[in-house]
Structure 1
Amino acid sequence: MSKQSKGRILYLSRLKALACIAVVVLHTFYAADAFAKDKTQHMLMLSVRNCCMWAVPCFVMATGALLLDPERKLSYKKLFGRLVLKMALALAVFTFLFELFDEKLIKKEVTGALFVNTRDNIILGTGWKHMWYLYLMIALYLMMPVYKAVTEKSDKNLVCYLCVILFAFLSMRPLVETVTGSQTAFYICVYSVYPLFLFCGYMLHNKYFTLPAWYYAFTASVGLAFTVYFTAACIDTKSKEVTSLLGSYSCPIYVVTAFCIFGAFSGCKGDKRIPILDTIACELERCSFGIYLLHMAVLKYIFAVTRYDPFKFGGVWSVIVIALVSLMISYGVTRIYSLIPVFIKRIKPEPEEAKKE
């Protein structure tokens, strides 16, 4: 049974709130790394960044837990009129706003090329890098009827088999090729690891595995320890191959860590609401998509426009403060934006909330 309070699935709400914070921390420390003065600072920034790489996979797993539920109907009207449309509108609107940001604050001149650049950025994906997530969600939504057919028509063993095959070829295969330096000729006709996260979220949410929460938590901790170790080793050896592997969500360490963090949350006993904690979690979850989009504008203003160097003013503590400021500003703007009348709110793309319809 799902852990719910007033129709909300508590563990998903808490997990998505924590993942939202982790995404902001990830981008903040990664941006601050450009100002690192020595190897120690560089290793610290990248270690924290890499230790937060579980966040996006957990968001995708939460989507799988909710939308792949056979009892949760997904009509084509809802699919295209709500999910895909809102993502597409968000992509268009925020790509335009971010291009305007660049021309006004970076280039110091707004030109007639604004609309042409916006069009090209949308089509070619050459806008702000974090916008890749919108393309990902559109791709997953378009394939969702097919993915749902798998969970609706398949038994537990087939879904587990699918996840094993996806993990082997889309996560372990790149690792083996990186270690051996050789390309294998074996492959499957799927190129993206993200459907794996969808089905993993579905499996864990529906208790395909009944391992205790402490086991998941311990394994996730080991995964984070390995992340720090390989990050340090990567910096020492300056290996481009390992750097590329650690920069990908298909990295087996990230896949296992995200799986175990999701499993730890879903396996926690108790369904009692914790007033302050769950109020904060609910707020962050509701605003998570807006926070994701807007926090990058705050970071870009701090690091690219003002050229603020955190290592001249407090070091890592300054980076932490920047992450908190970015989170609070992006949350505040999103919260105010949510109060705007319905016409404007149509372009507010909220993710599937942790509740059942």
Structure 2
Amino acid sequence: MACIGVIGIHAGSQHFRDMPLDSSVWAVSNFYHGINRFAVASFIMISGCLYLDSKRTWNLRRLWKRNILPIAAAYIFWQMFYAVYRIITNGTLAKGSKAALVKFMVYISKSYFHLWYLPMLIGLLIITPMLWEIVNSARGKQWEEYMIVLFLVFQILPYTINYFPLPWKDHIMDILQTVQPEMVTGYIGYFILGHYLSHYEVSKKLEYLVYVLGVILILAAIGLCYISSQKSGKPIQSFYENYTLAGFFWGSSFFLFFKNHVSKIKWNEKQEKRICYLGSCTFGIYLIHALIRDILHRIGIDSMMISNAAIAIPVLITMIFVLSLAAIMIIKKIPRVSKWII
């Protein structure tokens, strides 16, 4: 679902910046763009759940060889692939080899729009052995609760407040940002949160509160993005980004729902195998879906392929997912190479 959500973000936002803001098509695009914002937070929480699990034992050499190196290899490959793809498709190659080389160097110097996640994940993995020691210590639960609270106070709250026209906002932000404990002002907060929610039971009252806040805040954020965009005359997505309260509670509600309810479904052996196989393909789907989206767009299949965007976007999400899955299933059959690029 997190993988589908990532595709949903990029399908919903495909024409986010090039359509009339007062059109129903933009309103639908804004809705799908926002409603899928659980994806990134959920993915990081899944990583925290898996990598910080007490059953793991971390050896630094094995960590770098088996976990970090494959991700770094995939990042380098796809950075270069998308750089070459853009050079070919935008006509830079026709200007000569020197222009193409310059463009290539420019393209690979900065993460392609969806590939930012990989260096961020590598950063989390580098400090994972230290985090593992903290969360699995005798007072691990208390340390995690402390770090999650700090994440809310020093990252989520200031980021959210910054986008509201509050009186004395600049002074409030100065106070909030005077102290910035680096250990909890990045995606590490979601990483820790994923382990905490998967490892410890939360009360039913707190669980349902997270669900209610998740739904209310994400709908409010979508509405605020719409209203702000109409007033400013430019597309705004600030209210449901990953570090906002809406993003925090919406992502947490999805993670909790799957952990506490979907996990209770009794799958038969064949269904389990299919689910696990799909799970093994999601990394590759994430990497290649941007290519599939662009190819479909070039042949006229995108979020505006029909007049009803509310139907077009889910259809596009499905097509991108299915075609990406098919491509990854083929790549998986390539011996030795596939494990380094997907």
Q: Specify whether residues 115 and 91 from structure 1 end up closer, same or farther in structure 2 by C-alpha distance, changes over 3 A only.
A: farther
Partner of 2:326: 332
1:65 equivalent to 2:44? Answer no
* Equivalent pair of 1:29/1:48 in contact (CA under 8 Å): yes
For the structure 1 residues 251 and 78, does the alpha-carbon distance in structure 2 shift closer, same or farther, using more than 3 Å as the test? same
The correspondence of residues 86-235 of structure 1 with structure 2, limited to 5 A, is 86-107=70-91, 109=93, 112=97, 117-122=103-108, 124-125=109-110, 127-153=111-137, 154-179=139-164, 180=166, 181-182=169-170, 183-185=173-175, 186-190=178-182, 192-211=185-204, 216-235=210-229
1:116–1:287 CA distance, 2 compared to 1 (3 A): farther
Residues 290-317 of structure 1, C-alpha deviation per residue, up to 9 Å, x if partnerless? 11111101112233x4465653634312
Aligned length: 327
Greater CA deviation, 272-281 or 159-168?
A: 272-281
Gaps of 5+ in 2: none
Unaligned runs of 5+ in 1: 1-17, 350-357
Greater alpha carbon shift after TM alignment, 31-40 vs 284-293: 31-40
- Is 1:33 paired with 2:26? no
The aligned amino acid for 1:197 is Y
Structure 1 residue 232: Cα displacement: 2.3
**Identity across matched positions, percent:** 17
Aligned to 2:317: 323
Would the aligned equivalents of 1:47 and 1:231 in 2 still touch at CA under 8 Å?
no
Which structure has more relative contact order (CA 8 Å, sep 6+)? It is: 1
1:208 and 1:146 map into 2 onto residues whose CA distance is: 24
Pick the aligned partner of 2:247 from 233, 254, 263. 254
Q: Which amino acid is the alignment partner of residue 150 of structure 1?
A: I
Cα deviation 1:15-38 (Å, max 9, x = unaligned): xxx111111111011013345344
Go from structure 1 to structure 2 and tell me whether the alpha carbon gap of 1:170 and 1:93 turns closer, same or farther (over 3 Å shift).
Answer: same
Measure how far apart 1:284 and its partner are: 2.8
Q: Is the 8 A contact 1:170 1:193 kept in 2?
A: yes
* Cα distance in structure 2, aligned partners of 1:118 and 1:76: 34
Per the alignment, do residues 115 and 340 of structure 1 end up closer, same or farther by CA in structure 2, a change over 3 Å counting?
Answer: farther
Give the 3 Å change call, closer, same or farther, for CA 294–53 of structure 1 in structure 2. same
CA RMSD in angstroms comes to 2.7
Q: Residues of 1 paired with 2:10 and 2:321: CA distance?
A: 11
Aligned to 1:272: 266
CA distance in 2, matches of 1:140, 1:230: 32
